[in-house]
Amino acid sequence: MHLTTFHSHARIDAEQISMNVGGETRIAELVASLEAAALAIESELSYINTDLRHTETGLQRYGDVFIGPYRHLIHLRETKKQQFRGIISELEALRTQLQNSKQLLSVLNTAPIGSTAVGPKVTAARVRR
């Protein structure tokens, strides 16, 4: 399975989080931490894949002695992929929530007082976050 690289998927740019709302620094720090973790995992996955290729060669040349390390690397790779997917999922959800929040603020700031205009529909899934 090919994972999409972090740079081409789910990146949140500074403009998307530069709202003049309290907590701005916390959001930026959160995003930076998640992005750094995703980049670190990508790098780890690259090394794990290289090690897997070398271990496969060892299995072919020397047999069963390499089965333990091979299985460990397979398990480690799957764990890292799950972590990566989780980070990407959280960044995508955060980006969506920020866009919806901006849209809601825009509606609230332009709606006349007493208007019944509302922003994006709030669902139970969005409330839980």
Look at residue 28 in the predicted model and tell me its pLDDT: 85
Look at residue 16 in the predicted model and tell me its pLDDT: 52
Q: Model's pTM, two decimal places? A: 0.67
pLDDT one digit per residue (tens) for the chain, 129 residues: 455 566 655 555 555 545 444 555 688 898 999 999 999 999 999 999 999 999 999 999 999 999 999 999 999 999 999 999 999 999 999 999 999 999 999 988 887 776 665 555 555 555 554
End-to-end CA distance of the chain: 29
48 in Cβ contact with 77 (< 8 Å): yes
DSSP state letter for 123: P
Q: Which residue has the tokens 């690289």?
A: 5
